[in-house]
Structure 1
Amino acid sequence: MALAGREGLEKYRAVFEAASDGIALQYPGTWEIVDVNPAMCRMYGYSKEEIMHINPALLFSGEDPLAMEKAGARLQAAMSGHPQLFDWHARHRDGHTFWIQVSLKLMQIGPQAYVLSLVRDITDRKRIEQELHDSKISLEQAQQLAQLGTWRWDAINDVVTGSSEASRILGVDQPITQGEFIEIIHPEDRTRVAKAIRKAGESDVPFSQEFRFLRSDGSVLWVHSVGKTVFEDGRPLYSFGTIQDITDRKRFEQELQESETILAQAQQLAHLGSWRWDVQRDVLKMSDEGYRIMGLKPGEIGLNYSRFLGFIHPDDRGEMEKAITATVNEGLMYRQVHRLVRLDRSVRWIQCEGKMISTEDQPAVMLGTMQDITEIKNAERAVEDARAQAELFLDLMGHDINNMNQVALGYLEMALNKLHRGEQIGPADVVLVEKPLETLESSSNLIRNVKKLQRARSENMATQAMDIGEVLTWVKDRALHAPGRDITIDYRPAYGFRVMANELIWDMFSNIVTNAVKHSDPKKPLHVRIAVDRVFEAKQEYYRVSVEDNGPGIPDDTKRQIFSRLQHGRGRPRSGGLGLYLVSTLASQFHGRVWVEDRVPGDHTRGSRFVVMLPALRAEDANSDAEARA
C-alpha cells in the first residue's frame, strides 16, 4: 500500500487522527513506533510521546501462548508482504491486560516503507465468546446429566446432526440421513415412528414419540424424542428437537408395573383392597380389588366420601361416619366391620381400616384397606346357625311337638277309654277328635315353617322382581276364607310396588295377617287394614307395608321379643310358633326390616300394627332381572 502526493497524505492524516481503532506505524526490522493515533493512546493509557518511545514489548502481555517471539514472527511475515490478522493479549499502562485484534500490513508512504498496525479492543467480544463457550460446556454437561441431546435435520440436504449427547445416545459419531436414522429404530417401533416423522415433515404437527433404538453394540435404548419442522414456502426447511435416554425410567416403570401386578394379584387372592382419600379435595382413589369388592369394575365410577358412604349399609353408616370423623379430627386409627350394599343389592361384610397422614396439623390424606370377610362371616354364621338349628330342632321335638302329641294322645286316650267301656261316642264327644286333629295340624304347620325357615336361610334361593300388590291381594283373599270368623280386611289393591324377593314373600305377609287372626278373639269381629306407602330413608326409596288390626294388642315387653324365637346368644329358645320369626328372617334377607307398634300410640290394648320396610326396585335392577330371566 502506498500514499503519494500532498492531498493523499492529508487524507491519510485525517483518517489516522479520527479513527476509533488504534493505528500505529513502525519501521520494519526495528519495530520502532514512529506514529500513533489518539485512539491507540487511549487504548493503552499512554501519551503519544510515551508510547512512541516505549519498548513495544511492554505493550503485550507476553503470556504463553502469546509470547513476544510469536509477535516478531507476525511482523516479519507482514514485512514480507503477507498481511496478518490475529488476536493478541495487550497490557495497559496500569498493568491490566485486555484482548485486541491486530491487523498488520506493509505500507509505503512516500519513499519510506512502514508496517501499519490496526488495533481493535475486542475484550467484550472475547468475554461474550467465553460466556458462549462456558454456556456450551454447561449445556453439554446438563445434557449429559439429563441424558438429553439435541438434533437437527437439514431437509434440503437430508442430513441429521446432533449434539455430543445425542450422538452418545444414538451410538452414532457422524451425520446420517433420515433414512439411516429410521433404520436404527427397533423393528417393533419403526413403522409407528416413521409415520409420526413423516407427518411432522408434511405439516405443522409437533413430533413426540417414545421408542427404542438398536445401537451398533447390540444394546437397546428407550428414548423420548420431540421435534418440530420449520417450513419455507410450504416446503420443509429443517426440523429440530431433543432426544432423551429414558431407558432407566422405562426399567423402573416395568419394575413398578410388575410390582403393582403382584400386589393386585395378592389383593385379589386375599380379597383385600387399598384406598387413598384426599380429605381436602374429597377425592377417593381405590385399588382395582377395592372396586371389585364394591361390586364395580375398576375405575367404573369416580368416588368421594359421600358416594362411598352411600354403599355402606344404612344400619352401619352412622358408626362408620363416627369412626372416620374421629380419625380425621383426632388422628386416631380406626378399624370397623360393616356391611356394604352393592348396586345389585347384594350385601358383603367388610373389614375396613384407615389412618391419617397429616402435615402441619392439617388433615392431608387418609390411607386404608378394605377386606371382604363375607366368607368368614358366612362360615361363622353357618356354625352359629347349625348350633341354633340343632337347639331349635331339639326344643321342637322335646317341647313343642311333644306337648302337642301329649295333648292329642290325651284326647285320643279319653275316646279310646270310652269305647273300651262300651260307651258310644256322640256329638257331645266331638271334641275328643277335633282337638287331636287341631294339634296335629298345628304340629304339621310347625314342621312346614321349619322347612320354610331352612329355605329362607339357604343361599341358593334366587331373588327376582316381585309386585307387593299382587302378594297382598292373594293374602287378603286367603284370610277372608277363615272358617267361622267375622273378618273385614280393608285393602285397596295397588300394583307396581316392585321389590327384589323370592317366593317366600307370600309366606312373610301371610304369616303377619294369619297372626292377627290367630291371636284375636274368635267371638268378636276382626278388622284388618293393609296399606302400602312409598318412603325415603337415607336417600333410598322403600315400600312401607303396614298391617294393623283391632285385636287384643301386644304389650311393650312382648314387642321386643315377638320376632326373636331364635335370638343368637340369648340362651334357650322360648316355646311358641315360628311364624313371626320367619317374617323377621325373610325381611332381613330381602334387605328390609320389620317391627310392631301400637295401632293407637300409647295404648297397646286397642290393637297392633306390623310394619315391613322393603327396598324399592330401581329401574336398572328391574332391567338386569329381566335380562337374567330371559
Structure 2
Amino acid sequence: MFTAVRRRKDGEAEGVQSNSLVKILLVEDNPGDVELMKIHLEEFRNNDFSLLSVERLQKAIEIASAESPDVILLDLGLPDSSGLATVEGLIKVAGPAPIIVLTGLADERLGMEAVRLGAQDYLIKGKVNSHDLERAIRYSIQRRRSLEDLKESNQRYHSLFKDNHAVMIMIDPLTGNITDVNEAAMEFYGYARDSFTSLNITDITALPAEKVFEHLGRAASKDQQHTFLQHRLSDGSLRDVEVFSGPIYVHGRVHLYSIIYDITERKQAEVERERLTLELAQQHDLLQAVIEHATFGIVVLNGSDFIIKLTNDAAINLLEGQMNSIKLIGKSLRDLPLMQDHEGREIFNIVEGVTKFDRPIVKKELEFTEQIGRDLAFWQVAAMPLPGPAEHKDVLLMIQDMTEQVMARQRIEELAARADAERRRLKAILDNLPVGVSVADRAGKVLEKSEITDVIWGGRTPAINSTNDYRNFKGWWADTGIAVRPEEWTLVRAVKSGETSVGDVIDILRFDGTRGTIISSAAPIRDGKGSIIGGVGVVQDITRQRKLEHDAIEAKEQAKLYIDLLSHDISNMNASISSNLQMALEKMDIEARYRQYFTKSLDIIATSNRLIENVRKVQRVENHEAKHGMIDLGWLLEDVRTEMEKCPDREVKINYVPTIKKFVVASELLKDVFDNIVGNAIKHSNGKVEISLILNKMFENGREYYKVMVEDDGPGIPDEMKSKLFQRKQKGRSKTAGCGLGLFLVKKLVEDFNGRVWVEDRVPGDHTKGSRFVVMLPVASAEGRTLT
C-alpha cells in the first residue's frame, strides 16, 4: 500500500493512506537514498504524494503490475538487476507509468541510454534537490499523459477515420487535392491509397470544376455541410452519393473531411417507389374507372349481413332501376324487391354459398322474366370472396346481362340449322346436276363436291386439302398436248389469283385408268369487300362430244376431198364438153331445129359450173378462208350496176346514185351477195325489168349500219316462201332452173360479215308488186374495225 507524504506544521511528515494522491514507486536498495527521497518529497509545494519503496526489481515489477503507480523512481544498481537490463525489465510491465532513472555521477551516460530505451528522464544522485525532483516528477507525468492522449487521439483517429466502415476522405479546400482516405473509400472507389491521394476532388465529382469548388467553399465555411452529388469510380461508372462535409484542423491547417454514403440503390429505390406509387395511383384510377364504366354490374357486400357497401350504375340498373346509388348503398341485398322472387333468391343463395364455402361460384345463364320489366332476360351471375379476415369476408358480386348474347346465340343456332339445311339442299342440287361441281376455300381445300365429279374422274377422287394436292390429277391441254401443272387447274387459279376461267378443254387420265376429255371452268368467290374467300369449279365430261367432233372433222375432210374433186376434175370435164359443143356449133352445119339441143347442153354446163363455184364459195365461208378487209360498199354497188345492166337479150335498168367512202369490213365475196340478189331479180322476171339500189346509214341497238335495199318490179315472193327462201336447196320464185345455193350463199356471206339479210314486199301487203331484199352491214372505222 502506498503511504502519503505531507508537510506538517512542525516540519515532520505524517503518514496517511490514500488512493487520490500521486503514487510514487521508489525502487532503491540504499536506505540512505530512500530517506533522502522522502525528505525531498516532503518539501514539494503543490502536490501530495504517496510513496512506496522496494529494494528489488522483481518486487517492483509485481507492484507496478498490481498497483499501477503514477511514476517510478528507478535505481539501476539493484541486488537482483543492474544497468539497462533493469530499465528494460520494468518498462515491459510499467504500462503508462513514467520511469525516472536514478544514477550516480559516473553513470550519466547510462542515464541517457535509459531515456533512449523509454525512460522519461534521469536524475544524478547527490546533485538532485527537492525542486529538481518535483519538476522531474511533474514533467514526466505530464509528458506521459500527453503521449497517452496523443496515442488515444491516434487510436480515435484510426477508429473514426481509418477503420471506419463509412467512406471517408480528407480534402484540401484550397486546392481540392485529396490528402487522405480510409479503407472503405479505397474499396468503394476502387483506387489504391497512393493513386487515390494523387487525385483531385474534381477527378471523381461529376460536376464542372467551378461548381465543385463552390461546394468546397460552402463546406469549409460551414454554410453547407450536406449535399447530394454523383461521384465517378475508377471503372468510370457513376454513383449517386450523399456527402456530409465539415472543416477539421490538421497540423494547424484547415482540411475538409467528407463522409460519403452510396445512395444509388436508395435513389433507384426511391425512383422505383415513386414509379410504383404513380402506377398504383393510375391502377387505382383505372380500377375506379373500370368499376364506374363497366357494362356489367359490380356490387361489394358485407360478408356478415350482406349490406351493400359499393356498387356501380350498371348494377343499379339491373338490381333496382328506380333507386339511385345513394339509396342502394347501405341496404341489405335480401331486402331488394328483386330478391323476393325465385330467380332473385337464387342470386342470394349464390352469395350465401360464397361466404359458406369461401370459393367463387358462377351461374352462367340465370333466366329472369316479368320482375325486371321484360318478357325474357338472361343474367350471368358470379360471386367471389374478397381478401380479408377469415370470418365474414366481403363478397364481390358481378352481374352481366347476357340477354343479347343468349338471344344472338339462339339466332346463330337457328341460322346454323338453316345453313345446314341449305347445305344439304345445295348438295342435293349439286348431285343432280349433269356436271361436276366443287367448292373450295381460300387455301384450295375442297369443302363440297357433287357425286358426278367422282364419276367424271373414274372413281372416288383423293381428298384435296390445299392447292398442292392437285398434283394427284393428271391432265393435258387438248390443243397442245402439254401436261397441266398443279397451279394451272382452273379452280387453283380462281382461289389464288381471282381468275375466272371458262371452257378450258383438258384431256385427262381417270383414276380407273381410262382416258377422257373435260371442259373445266372456275370462278372466285368474294366477300362483301371483294376479297377472295374461295372458288367454285365446274367440270363437264365431253368425251363423247369430243369423239363426235373428231368424226365430224374427218367427215369434213372427206367432204373437202369430194368438193376439190368436184371443183377441179368435173370443172375440167365441163370445160372440155363446153368447148367441143361450141366448136360443133361453129364448124358443123346443124339445122336450126337441132341447134337447141346444143345450146341447152351449154346452158346446163354453165349452170353446173356456177353450182361448183357456189359450193367452193360456201366452203371458203365455212372454213373462214376468205380474207377480210376494208371495202368501199358504194363503189362495189356501182360495179354491180355496171355489170348487170349489160345483160344480153334483156332490157335491164338499175337505178343507183353512186356514193363513196362507205366502208365495211368484208371479203371479196361481198360482191357475190349483190350479184346473186340482182341476178335473181333479172332471172326471175320477164321482159323489161327495173331495179333500184338504195344505200343508207342507220342505227340499231346502239350500233351503226349501212342498209342496202335492192327493189325490183318483178313477180314478187309469196309470204309462205319468204321464211324458207335462204335455206339450202330452196329454189326461187319462178320455174327458172336453179340449184338452190345462191340465196343460201348470200345468207352465209352476210352473216360472216356480222350482218343480216331478209326479204320483204316492195309495196307492203302486196307481194305481186315486186320484192325488196335488205342487207344490213356494220359500218367500219378508219382503223378497219366495225363500229359499235
Higher relative contact order (CA 8 A, sep 6+): 1
Indicate the TM-score class for this superposition, using the shorter chain for normalisation.
0.3 to 0.5
Q: If you compute each CA radius of gyration, which structure gives the higher value, 1 or 2?
A: 2
TM-score relative to the length of structure 1: 0.39
